[in-house]
């Protein structure tokens, strides 16, 4: 079982913000328990200590925004080397879930980075004869974007505000904003902010979109596997259960 093979919402939230029913499963992703918070008030369902940044990395970062890209790179390397811990966490993400953190820094923190990691690097079935992955090239052509999106059940081409768009069962899913030259893709605010902070040449927003849970993607700069993961996460978050089941059945039959 993996988190990204079921329809679910994944978000982040500070431990000191009162729990809500919409949080779903609350997972603490810090190495230490939130200071001054009782178990009753925290309402933590699972403590994923194993996927917290190392003490050395946490102290080095110290929430210095200038260090965010390098913190993200180092943290991702730690997570790559901790496959067992990451897989154990994914076992808890088959339902709506919230990654809980205690830092006063509500955007560029370990939970936000972890959210990005889980979204952009979905679990894959191990292959016995797998070869080392080649370095991902940047840039995705429009015809490749169309093929990527239209492969999902229920997806069709359409228009939105006069722009080329994609519709999921007749409802808006994504569009290419010609004025801003970016593909608009659904992304929760925490994920969007993390992507923009770590890769500002690839991910951005505008005044029009800043209050919507979405990010604009510059196709000439994005890595194909990252765009594919972002689109799949968006689809699984927004598609009806029968569509997600149809997708999984289609892939299992290959």
How far apart are the C-alpha atoms of 129 and 47, rounded to whole Å?
34
Higher pLDDT, 133 or 92: 92
Torsion of CA 15, 60, 73, 105, to 10 degrees: 30
Q: In the prediction, which pLDDT does 96 show?
A: 87
Q: Are the beta carbons of 198 and 72 closer than 8 angstroms?
A: yes
Higher pLDDT, 26 or 179: 26
Q: Are the beta carbons of 228 and 202 closer than 8 angstroms?
A: no
DSSP reduced 3-state for 85: helix
Percent of the chain with pLDDT over 70: 91
What average pLDDT does the segment 137-152 reach? 92
Q: In the prediction, which pLDDT does 2 show?
A: 35
Q: pLDDT of 203-248, one tens digit each?
A: 999 999 989 999 999 999 999 989 999 999 899 888 998 999 999 8
Q: pLDDT of 86-110, one tens digit each?
A: 999 999 987 889 999 999 998 899 9
What average pLDDT does the segment 177-199 reach? 89
Q: pLDDT of 70-82, one tens digit each?
A: 999 999 999 999 9
Q: Which of 36-40, 89-93, 136-140, 153-157 has the lowest mean pLDDT?
A: 136-140
How far apart are the C-alpha atoms of 98 and 24, rounded to whole Å?
7
Mean pLDDT, the chain, rounded, equals 88
Mention every residue, 6+ apart, whose C-beta is less than 8 A from residue 37: 15, 16, 102
DSSP reduced 3-state for 196: helix
Q: Are the beta carbons of 187 and 196 closer than 8 angstroms?
A: no
Structure tokens at 217: 């993607």
Report residue 130's pLDDT band, with 50, 70 and 90 as the boundaries: very low
The domains of the chain, with CATH numbers, are 3-120 (no CATH), 142-252 (3.90.1150.30)
Q: In the prediction, which pLDDT does 125 show?
A: 45
Nearest to 187 by CA among 237, 143, 148, 141: 237
Q: Are the beta carbons of 197 and 68 closer than 8 angstroms?
A: yes
Return the exposure string of 35-67: e unless at least 16 CB atoms fall within 10 Å of the residue's CB, then b.
eeeeeeebebebbbeebbbeeebbeebeeeeee
Q: Name residue 14's beta-bridge partners.
A: 101
């Amino acid at each position: 079982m993996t988190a990204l093979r079921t329809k679910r919402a994944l978000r982040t939230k500070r431990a000191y913000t009162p729990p809500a029913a919409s949080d779903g499963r609350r997972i603490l992703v810090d190495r230490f328990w939130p200071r001054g918070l009782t178990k009753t008030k925290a309402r933590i369902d699972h403590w994923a200590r194993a996927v917290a940044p190392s003490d050395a990395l946490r102290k080095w970062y110290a929430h210095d925004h200038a260090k965010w890209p390098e913190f993200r790179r180092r943290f991702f390397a730690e997570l790559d080397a901790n496959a067992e811990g990451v897989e154990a966490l994914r076992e808890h993400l088959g339902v709506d879930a919230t990654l809980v953190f205690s830092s006063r820094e509500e955007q560029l923190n370990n939970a936000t980075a972890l959210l990005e990691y889980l979204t952009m690097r979905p679990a894959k079935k191990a292959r016995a004869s797998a070869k080392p992955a080649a370095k991902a090239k940047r840039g995705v052509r429009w015809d490749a974007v169309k093929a990527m999106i239209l492969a999902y059940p229920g997806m069709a081409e359409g228009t939105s505000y006069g722009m080329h768009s994609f519709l999921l069962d007749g409802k808006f899913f994504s569009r290419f904003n010609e004025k801003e030259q970016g593909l608009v893709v659904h992304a929760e605010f925490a994920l969007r902010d993390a992507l923009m902070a770590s890769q500002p040449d690839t991910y951005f927003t505008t005044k029009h979109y800043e209050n919507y849970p979405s990010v604009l993607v510059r196709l000439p700069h994005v890595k194909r596997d990252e765009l594919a993961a972002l689109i799949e996460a968006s689809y699984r978050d927004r598609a009806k259960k029968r569509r997600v089941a149809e997708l999984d059945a289609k892939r299992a039959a290959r």
